[in-house]
């Protein structure tokens, strides 16, 4: 077996784009997938969603609930961590999500997702 670096991680936001509903609320699931060697490590997500959501942001993960721009979760034995995020009174636009596996000098991963305004009703 080669001694190269582990396979790259990725961050998936679903749905993407996120569409505002109701009073410009947003709801998304964010999954971090990495090599199982990081099982039981903590991954922290950072996104400036609280800047776009005047009504506040609530993150939920297997480590509890968080408000603001960051949340953390424990990576499972398959190398995955899942976050659910709710935002209230949000503005449309694009955001970057950054994931940091807190296991020493491991790399940082990121993705971008978009908040779309609600579809016009006729």
- Four-way CATH pick for 17-107: 2.60.40, 1.10.287, 1.10.150, 2.40.160: 2.60.40
**Strand-by-strand arrangement of the 10-14 sheet:** 10-14, 26-33, 80-90, 53-61, 64-67
| pLDDT by position in tens, the chain (length 122) | 445 554 557 899 999 999 999 889 999 999 999 888 889 999 999 998 889 999 999 999 999 999 999 999 999 999 999 999 999 999 999 999 999 988 766 667 889 999 999 876 56
Give the start-to-end residue ranges of the domains of the chain.
Answer: 17-107
Does residue 66 contact residue 59 with C-beta atoms inside 8 Å? yes
Residue showing tokens 């993960």: 61
Query: E-assigned strands of 22-69?
Result: 26-33, 42-47, 53-61, 64-67
Please state the pTM of the whole predicted model: 0.86
């Amino acid at each position: 077996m080669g001694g190269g670096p582990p396979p790259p991680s990725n961050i998936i936001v679903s749905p993407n784009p996120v569409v505002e509903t109701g009073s410009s609320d947003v709801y998304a699931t964010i999954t971090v997938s990495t090599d199982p060697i990081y099982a039981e490590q903590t991954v922290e997500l950072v996104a400036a969603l609280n800047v776009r959501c005047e009504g506040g942001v609530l993150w939920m993960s297997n480590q509890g609930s968080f408000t603001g721009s960051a949340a953390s979760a424990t990576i499972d034995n398959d190398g995955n961590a899942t976050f659910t995020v709710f935002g209230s009174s949000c503005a449309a636009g694009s955001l970057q999500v950054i994931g940091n596996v807190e296991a020493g000098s491991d790399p940082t991963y990121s993705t971008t997702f978009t908040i779309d305004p609600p579809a016009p009703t006729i």
